Amino acid sequence: MATRHKADAPPRIDGYAPLASYAVIGDGRTAALVAGDGSVDWLALPDLDSPSVFGAALDSRRGGRFALAPEAPYTTERRYLPDTNVLETVFSTERGSVRVTDAMTLPDHALGPQRELARRVEGLSGRVPMRWSVEPRFGYGCVPTRLGRRGSTPVAGAGGDALAICSFDAGTPEVADGAIAARLEAHAGTRAVVALCAARAEPLVMPARDEIETRLDATAATWRRWTESLDYAGPWRDAVVRSALALKLLVHAPTGAVAAAATTSLPEEIGGERNWDYRFCWIRDSAFTLKVFLQLACGPEARAYFWWLMQASQLTHPRLRVLYRLDGGARAPERTLPLDGYRGSRPVRTGNAAAGQVQLDTYGELLQTAWLYATTGHRIDRDIAHRLAGIADLVSRIWRQPDAGIWEVRSEPAHFTQSKMMCWVALERARDLAERGMIPGRHAERWSAEAGAIREFVETRCFSPEKRSYVRSAGSSELDASLLLGALLAYGDARDERWAGTIEAVRRELADGPFVQRYTGEDGLGGSEGAFLACSFWLVEALARTGRVEEAASMMDELIGLASGLGLYAEEIDPATGAQLGNLPQGLSHLALISAALAIAETTAR
pLDDT tens track for 458-508: 999 999 999 999 999 999 999 999 999 999 999 988 889 999 999 999 999
Q: What is the pLDDT of residue 2?
A: 47
Residue 525 confidence (pLDDT):
87
Mean pLDDT, rounded, for 574-590: 97
Nearest CA to 115 among 75, 158, 163, 148?
Answer: 163
Single-letter code of the amino acid located at 468: R
d(CA 311, CA 308): 5
The predicted model gives 553-564 an average pLDDT of 98
Third-level CATH fold of 237-329+337-605: Glycosyltransferase (1.50.10)
Task: Give Cα 5 to chain centroid, integer Å.
Answer: 22
**pTM (whole model) above 0.85:** yes
**Cα separations in angstroms, 499 against 56, 183, 287, 464, 485:** 45, 62, 21, 12, 11
Res 8 pLDDT > 70: no
Q: Which of 131, 106, 104, 124 is nearest to 39 (CA)?
A: 131
The pLDDT > 90 percentage for the chain reads 94
Residue-wise DSSP of 547-565: T-HHHHHHHHHHHHTTS-T
Residue 162 has pLDDT above 50, yes or no: yes
What do you get for the CA distance between the two ends of the chain, in Å?
A: 28
Peptide bond between residue 46 and the one before it cis (omega within 30 degrees of 0): yes
Distance CA 561, CA 567 (A): 9
Confidence of residue 110 (pLDDT cuts 50, 70, 90): confident
Helix extents (H) in 436-532 = 444-461, 484-488, 497-509
Predicted local confidence at residue 5, as pLDDT:
58
How far is Cα 446 from Cα 450, in angstroms, rounded to an integer?
A: 6
CA angle centred on 172, ends 168 and 173, rounded to 5°: 95
Please write the tens of the pLDDT for every residue from 215-236: 999 999 999 999 999 999 999 9
**How far is the CA of 278 from the CAs of 299, 353, 405, 446, 602, in angstroms?**
25, 11, 17, 37, 31
The CA-CA-CA angle for residues 82, 83, 87, to 5°, reads 60
Q: What is the CATH number of domain 5-228?
A: 2.70.98
Quick one: pLDDT at residue 7? 55
Nearest Cα residue to 380 out of 367, 394, 364, 392: 367
In 3D space, the residue among 401, 405, 407, 400 whose CA is nearest the CA of residue 416 turns out to be: 405
Nearest to 56 by CA among 74, 73, 37: 37
Segment 367-371 shows an average pLDDT of 98
Contact 305, 257 (CB under 8 A): yes
On the CB side of 444, CA atoms within 13 Å amount to: 16
What is the sign of the dihedral through the CA atoms of 66, 71, 72 and 77? negative
Nearest to 262, CA basis, from 277, 242, 241, 243: 277
Cα separations in angstroms, 440 against 49, 427, 447, 596: 37, 13, 12, 34
pLDDT band of 136, cuts 50, 70, 90: very high
On the question of pLDDT at 108 being above 80, the answer is yes
Q: How far is CA 143 from the centre of its chain?
A: 27
Alpha carbons 406 and 42: distance in angstroms, whole number? 28
Q: What pLDDT digit, counting tens, does each position of 412-458 carry?
A: 999 999 999 999 999 999 999 999 999 999 999 999 999 999 999 99
Mean pLDDT of the chain: 96
pLDDT value of position 605: 80
How far apart, in whole angstroms, are the C-alpha atoms of residue 177 and residue 206? 23
Confidence bin at 254 (pLDDT 50/70/90) = very high
Please give the single-letter amino acid code of residue 247: L
Domain ranges of the chain: 5-228, 237-329+337-605
